[in-house]
Amino acid sequence: MEHIKGIQAALEKEGLDAILFTDPISCRYATGFFFTDGAVLVSREKSWLLTDSRYTEAAGQQVKESEVLAFGIGRPLYGLLKELCAAIPGKLGAEEERMSHAAWGKLESELGRELTPAGKLLTELRAVKDAEEVENMIAAQRIAERALEDVLNILRPGLTEKEVAAELTYRMLRYGGEENSFDPIVVTGAKSSMPHGVPGDVVIRSGDFVTLDFGTKKGGYCSDMTRTVAVGHATEEMEKVYDTVLRAQLAGIAAAKAGVEGCVIDSAARKVIEDAGYGAYFGHSFGHSLGLEIHEAPGAAPTSRVVLPEGLAVSAEPGIYLPGRFGVRIEDVIILRADGCENITKAPKELLVL
Ligand code: ZN
Ligand code: ZN
């Protein structure tokens, strides 16, 4: 989907006359079209998508709000950009966080003008998801849940973490996912105490926790979910830790709404874990926002004083990790609203013993 009008309104607010995007994700957000080489230029009145012959035909069909221009042999990208920019006097913004220092300097010298750092313009716009973006995230989430349902039916002692990760990936693709939103995390037994452990040849045994953290994309938008399940049986302590994580997650979700600072949501969840005596074992933030990318800004971190906007899609993923023993994480994605939040993750989260 195209977001040119929102970008133009933001240009006016920020006192910029135009903004130049070179990052493929930024270009996609602006035009709804994914291409890896080129740029998008948005002025207050008009916008252009510049790409090469590999993409121009498809771009011409899909992109409505921007003029599609081709660069190539004899017509270099920078030359074309320089021509367009010459007709736009005033302040030209670019995304300083999405290019190297060298690339920034090259762009300035090729265009023969100074660029204004304007990275926060798109970060702020992208944080607020419109109905169509939320729809894509929900569609991706439903696919991931369908894959999980299948995998829980076949998950048993003897399978390796890698095999389970492969089954998740295959099924998400099979059910219409475009690609993984990140490499699935499947960790079992003592390895489940590593929040971002990499699936290996470790075999699932009876009495283990298995943590599955995975997601797919729809329309370019990411899903993200984590479930931790017990295989065979769970000890009393495993049950206690699981229950604590779940209560922490519910407390964070209950505190989540637009207009609060990220740290308020984090601390609501963290308090439950601290009160249960596991405060030292919850080492990461309650949640990160997501959309076209799996990690966006702002998030719900202990230090986040950013007031969270309505429409922010943010994960709710507390965890307790007991080194060398086991870990539990439960993750949903919620959309912040004025009076609370909408949980777009529907998979059950009571402790499941397979
Ligand atoms: Zn996740
Ligand atoms: Zn996450």
For 68-94, the pLDDT digits (tens) are 999 999 999 999 999 999 999 999 999
Q: How far is the CA of 317 from the centre of ligand 2 (A)?
A: 7
For 95-156, what is the HEC assignment? CHHHCCHHHHHHHHHHHCCCEEECHHHHHHHHHCCCHHHHHHHHHHHHHHHHHHHHHHHHCC
Q: How far is the CA of 315 from the centre of ligand 2 (A)?
A: 6
8: pLDDT strictly greater than 90: yes
Q: What is the pLDDT of residues 201-236, one digit of tens each?
A: 999 999 999 999 999 999 999 999 999 999 999 999
pLDDT at position 309 is 98
Q: How far is the CA of 318 from the centre of ligand 2 (A)?
A: 10
Host H or E run for residue 317: none
Band (pLDDT 50/70/90 cuts) for residue 245 is very high
Residue 346 corresponds to which amino acid?
K
Q: How high does pLDDT run on average in the chain?
A: 97
Residues 347, 353: Cα–Cα separation, whole Å: 15
**Between β-strands 47-51 and 38-43, what pairing exists: parallel, antiparallel or unpaired?**
antiparallel
Q: How far is the CA of 78 from the centre of ligand 2 (A)?
A: 38
Question: How many beta carbons lie within 10 A of that of residue 262, not counting itself?
Answer: 27
* Dihedral angle of Cα 148, 154, 159, 160, to the nearest 10 degrees: -10
Over residues 193-205, the mean pLDDT reads 93
Which ligand sits nearest to residue 314's alpha carbon?
A: 2
Percent of the chain with pLDDT over 90: 98
2: pLDDT strictly greater than 90: yes
Give the tokens for residue 242: 């699981």
Q: How far is the CA of 278 from the centre of ligand 1 (A)?
A: 21
Helices (H), the chain: 4-14, 24-31, 56-62, 77-86, 101-111, 119-127, 131-154, 161-174, 236-255, 262-275
Which ligand sits nearest to residue 285's alpha carbon?
A: 2
Helix (H, G, I), strand (E, B) or coil at 282: coil
Q: How far is the CA of 163 from the centre of ligand 1 (A)?
A: 19
Band (pLDDT 50/70/90 cuts) for residue 196 is confident
Q: Where does residue 157 rank: exposed (0-12), middle (13-18), buried (19+ CB within 10 A)?
A: middle
Which ligand sits nearest to residue 214's alpha carbon?
A: 1
Which ligand sits nearest to residue 296's alpha carbon?
A: 2
Which ligand sits nearest to residue 288's alpha carbon?
A: 2
Which ligand sits nearest to residue 300's alpha carbon?
A: 2
Give the tokens for residue 209: 């926790």
Rg (CA), the chain: 23
Host H or E run for residue 70: strand 67-70
Whether 320 and 282 have beta carbons less than 8 Å apart is answered as yes
Residues 338, 290: Cα–Cα separation, whole Å: 19
Question: How many beta carbons lie within 10 A of that of residue 92, not counting itself?
Answer: 22
Q: What is the pLDDT of residues 31-69, one digit of tens each?
A: 999 999 999 999 999 999 999 999 999 999 999 999 999
